[in-house]
Amino acid sequence: MAEDGQTGAALQATLAVERGRVADRIIWGGYVAIGILIGAVVCPTIWLIVRPSSDTIVIQSAFEQLEKLSAAIFPLLGAWIGAVIAFYFARDNFESAAQNTKALLQEALPDRLTSIAAAEAMIPADKLLTVSTPEDDGRPLYGDILKTFEAKGLSRVIVLKGRKGLGVIHDSTVNRFVLGKTATGAQAADIKLSDLLGDPAIAPILDDTAIYVAPNTTLAAVRKAMEARSTALGSCRDAFVTTTGAPSDDIVGYLSDLDIAKRGALKS
C-alpha cells in the first residue's frame, strides 16, 4: 500500500511537471499566434493607408475583409486555448476532488461500521434462500438452483450442510463450472448440485471465500476479516454469522460485502 502511494505521488508529480510544460507552450504559442494575426491585420492596413489610391471602394472593401478575418480567427484561437487548458487543468481539479472525497469516505466509513453489530445488519437465517447438502444434491444446478436464485435477484448461492454454513458460490463460478462440463460432452440439464460440490476445484472455493463471525462482531471487524482473507487466499465477500463465530456452530444469519457497504453508506 505504501509503495502504491509513493507510485501515485510520483505519477502526480510527473503529471504536474508535464502540465507546466503544456501551459508554457500554450502561452508562448498564443503570443506567437496573436503576433502573427496582428501583423496580418496591421501591415495590410498600413499599406492601404499609405498606398496612393483614389479607389475608396477598394480600400473600404479591403478593411471589411480584414475585419471579418480578425473577427473569425481571434475567437477561434481563444476557444482552442481554453479547450486545451480545460482538458489539462480542469481534469486535474476533478481528479483531486475525487481523491479527496474518496479519502473522506474511507475515514468516515470505519467510524460508522464500528458502531453496527453483525446481528443488526445480517439477513436472518430463516429469511435466507439457500441450498442444502445432501437434501438438494439431486437438483439440477443450472436449470433449477441457479435460475431460482437469479429469479430473486441473487447472484450468490448459499450452501448449507444441515444448519451449518458450508460456503457461498457466486453465479460466475457456477456458470464456469457448467460451461466446463458441457465442453466435455455433458448436458447442462444433467449437471446436479452434487457434481458441483464433489468437484475438487470447488472445495477450496467453499472453504476460503466465506468467513464466520459472531453476532456481536462489528461490521468494521467483519470487513477487516474479509480483507485479510482476500489477501491471504483470494476474493472473500461473504460471512456466515454463527452463534459463537465458529464454523461448527449453526448459522443465525448471513452478511455480504454489499450489505456492509450499504450500512456504512447510511447515516446513523
Q: Which amino acid is at 162?
A: G
46 with 96, same domain: the answer is yes
Distance CA 12, CA 126 (A): 51
Which of residues 85, 113, 141 is at a domain's end? 113
18 with 81, same domain: the answer is yes
Residue 98 has pLDDT above 60, yes or no: no
250 with 154, same domain: the answer is yes
237 with 223, same domain: the answer is yes
58 with 15, same domain: the answer is yes
List the grid coordinates of 154. 441473487
The closest alpha carbon to 219, from 116, 133, 72, belongs to: 116
* Mean of per-residue pLDDT scores for the chain: 79
Put the strands of the sheet holding 210-213 in their side by side order. Answer: 123-124, 251-256, 238-242, 210-213
The closest alpha carbon to 157, from 229, 200, 165, belongs to: 165
57 with 168, same domain: the answer is no
256 with 167, same domain: the answer is yes
101 with 15, same domain: the answer is yes
Q: How confident is the model at residue 107 (pLDDT cuts 50, 70, 90)?
A: low
pLDDT tens, residue by residue, 7-18: 555 556 665 666
CB atoms within 10 A of CB 203: 12
Give the dihedral of Cα atoms 245, 251, 252, 254; nearest 10 deg: 90
Q: 162 — alpha (psi -120 to 50), left (phi > 0) or beta?
A: left
Total domain count, the chain: 2
Please state, in angstroms and as integers, the Cα–Cα distance from residue 97 to each residue in 84, 91, 132, 137, following that order. Answer: 20, 10, 48, 52
- Read off the CATH number of the domain in which 199 is found: 3.10.580.10
Q: How confident is the model at residue 242 (pLDDT cuts 50, 70, 90)?
A: very high
Which of 13-22, 44-53, 94-103, 152-161 is predicted with the least confidence, judged by mean pLDDT? Answer: 94-103
Residue 141 has pLDDT above 70, yes or no: yes
258 with 135, same domain: the answer is yes
Please state, in angstroms and as integers, the Cα–Cα distance from residue 112 to each residue in 82, 101, 115, following that order. Answer: 43, 16, 6
136 with 42, same domain: the answer is no
185 with 251, same domain: the answer is yes
Which of residues 77, 96, 113 is at a domain's end? 113
Q: Which residue has the higher pLDDT, 46 or 169?
A: 169
Which of residues 97, 113, 129 is at a domain's end? 113
Reported pTM: 0.59
196 with 77, same domain: the answer is no
Q: How confident is the model at residue 232 (pLDDT cuts 50, 70, 90)?
A: confident
Residue 93 has pLDDT above 70, yes or no: no
List the grid coordinates of 237. 465477500
Range of the domain at 233: 118-265
